[in-house]
């Protein structure tokens, strides 16, 4: 049963579970993440009617947040001991040009790296890279 304090109606996780049919774990996760606005009093969460309305009126509720464009670099490198060549490229077109200048494309691969974190996102065989981006 929701709790009434003057003109304010507060819903607990149990109340919302019964009314909406959403699991208690999901409701608590939404509250922790801030997707559903609520306040914790002691060990129990409480949500106002206004917060429930706001949740359902959010335009971005079902739309994923736009992804931040990653700045990438491409490292063309030999895949075995026969080819020790390595070249760094800053664009896809530059990487394709570099690959086309190689005598035997199958001896190369491309590391796609996030420049901010220096994390390797993917390692692609040279031929596959050319097919994907040409």
Question: Do residues 76 and 129 share a domain?
Answer: yes
pLDDT of residue 82 exceeding 80, the answer is no
Domain that holds residue 77: 72-133
DSSP-based three-state secondary structure for 50: helix
Q: Measure the CA–CA gap between 8 and 18, rounded to whole angstroms.
A: 20
38 occurs within a structural domain: yes
How large is the average pLDDT for residues 71-85? 87
Q: Measure the CA–CA gap between 66 and 88, rounded to whole angstroms.
A: 29
Question: Do residues 50 and 94 share a domain?
Answer: no
Q: What is the phi-psi region of residue 52: left when phi exceeds 0, alpha when psi lies from -120 to 50, beta otherwise?
A: alpha
Question: Do residues 19 and 49 share a domain?
Answer: yes
CATH of residue 43's domain is 1.10.10
Q: Measure the CA–CA gap between 114 and 90, rounded to whole angstroms.
A: 11
β-pair partners for 114: 72, 119
pLDDT given at position 61? 47
64 occurs within a structural domain: no
What does pLDDT average to over the chain? 87
- Distance from chain centroid for Cα 20: 28
Question: Do residues 82 and 118 share a domain?
Answer: yes
Burial category of 13 from C-beta neighbours within 10 Å (exposed 0-12, middle 13-18, buried 19 and up): buried
pLDDT of residue 13 exceeding 90, the answer is yes
**pTM for the complete prediction?**
0.49
């Amino acid at each position: 049963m929701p709790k009434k304090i003057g003109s304010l109606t507060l819903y607990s996780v149990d109340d919302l579970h019964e009314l909406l049919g959403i699991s208690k774990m999901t409701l608590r996760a939404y509250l922790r993440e801030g997707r559903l606005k609520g306040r914790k009093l002691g060990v129990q969460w409480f949500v106002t009617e206004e917060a429930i309305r706001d949740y359902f009126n959010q335009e971005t509720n079902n739309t994923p947040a736009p992804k931040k464009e990653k700045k990438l670099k491409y490292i063309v490198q030999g895949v075995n001991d026969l080819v020790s060549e390595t070249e760094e490229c800053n664009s896809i077109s530059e990487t394709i040009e570099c690959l086309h200048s190689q005598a035997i494309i199958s001896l190369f691969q491309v590391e796609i790296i996030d420049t901010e974190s220096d994390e390797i996102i993917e390692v692609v065989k040279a031929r596959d890279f050319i097919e994907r981006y040409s």
